[in-house]
A = this chain, B = another copy of it.
Amino acid sequence: MSKLTINEIAKMANVAKSTVSKALNGQKGVSDEVRQKILSLVADVNYQPNATARALAQNKTGIIGFVLPHSASTSLAETYWIEVITAITEEVELKGNNLMVIAPSSNNEDPYESLRNIVLRHSVDGLIMGAENLNSEIMDLIQKSGIPFVFIGQNPLYPHFSIDVNNEEGAYLVTKEIIKHLGDNHKQICCITGPKEYIYTKNRINGFIKACDEENFSGYHIFSTDYSAENTQKTVVELLEVCPNPDAFFIAAGGDFFLSIMDILRLEGLNIKKQVLGVFDDARIFDYLDFSIISAKQPLQEIGQLAAKNLFDLMFDKQPEKQVQYLSVNIILR
C-alpha cells in the first residue's frame, strides 16, 4: 500500500516534485523555509523515495554484491565467510547501500550463471569477491562491464585491488611453534594444503618451508588437495603411506577441510593427541578440543570492513592506497 510517491508529497507541500527531490537530496536551489517544510512533511508521513525509480534515474542501484568462492554449500559452512559477510554488511549499510549475496550454485552446469546475470543486468554497483577459482569467462565479463570490484585474497590471473592476510608469515610462525613443541627426537612434519595454484597456498607453503629451513628441520612433507572430501581423504591415506609415523601436522586451512582431515586420521587409527597440530584458522571452540592445537587467527572483521572501504574508494574514483593490503594473523597457542 503506502503508495506515497514524490508526486503526492509535492502536492501536499504545494511545490514541484523537483523541489521535493532537491530538498530530499540536500541539493541547493531550495530555500531553507521550503526545505524544512518538505523535510518535516516527509518525516510525518514516513516517506522514502522508491529505490528502483531512483536507481533508474541515477543509474546506480545502491547495491553491493558479495560473491562467495567455491560452491555455497561448502564455503558457507565454514565460519570464515560468515564473519566476513557480517563486517561487509555493516560497512555497506553504513554507507546507505545494501548487500546482495551471490552464491555460485553447486548443482549447475554454469556455477556463475547467477553472477553473470547480475553483471549483465546491472544489478549491482560494485562487487566484493572471494578471489579463488573464478574462471576467465566470468572475469572477462566483469572487467568489460566496468563494475568496480575488489578481491578478498588474490587471484593469480587477475592482479587487482585486494585485501589479504600475511599468509607466509602466519604459516611461518605456526610452523616455528610446531617445531618448538616437537622434542628433539621427532622428525616428521606433514603439511596438508589446498590447491597449489592458489596464491595463499603458495604463500603458506613458503612460510612453512622457511620455518623448517631456519630450524634445519628437513623431515617435512607437503601434500596438496583440491579441498573436496574425496580428494582430501585420498591424499591423507597416501600421506600415511609415505609417512607412517608423523609427529606433527600443519594443516594450511580450517573449516570443513580441517575436520575432514581429523576424521580420516582418526579413522586410520592415528592417535591425534600425540601429534603436534597447527592449523591456519581459528575458532573459539578450539579451547575445548581433546588435543592441543596451534592456530593462526585471521582478522576476519577487518578483512570485510577494509574490502568494503576499498570498494567504495574505487566506486568514487579514488584508488585504494595499495594494490594488495596485507593484514597480520594472530598465532594462538593452546
Contact = CB atoms under 8 A, between A and B. Distances in A.
Interface of A: 1-2, 46-56, 61, 63, 72-73, 76-77, 79, 81-83, 85-86, 89-90, 93-94, 98-103, 105-106, 114, 117-118, 120-123, 141, 144-146, 256, 259, 262-263, 272, 283-285, 287-291
Nearest to A146: B1
Question: For the complex, would chain A's binding face be called helix, strand, loop or mixed by DSSP majority?
Answer: helix
A65 B289 CA distance: 37
Instruction: Give this chain's copy count.
Output: 2
A43 to B, nearest CB: 12
5 contacts: A46-B141, A52-B61, A89-B103, A93-B105, A283-B285
Contacts of A48: 117, 120-121
Nearest to A260: B284
Given A52-B61, A72-B86, A101 B103 contact: no
A86 B99 contact: no
Contacts of A93: 103, 105, 114
A72 B90 contact: yes
A105 B288 CA distance: 31
Given A51-B123, A89-B72, A146-B1, A63 B287 contact: no
Contacts of A99: 100-101
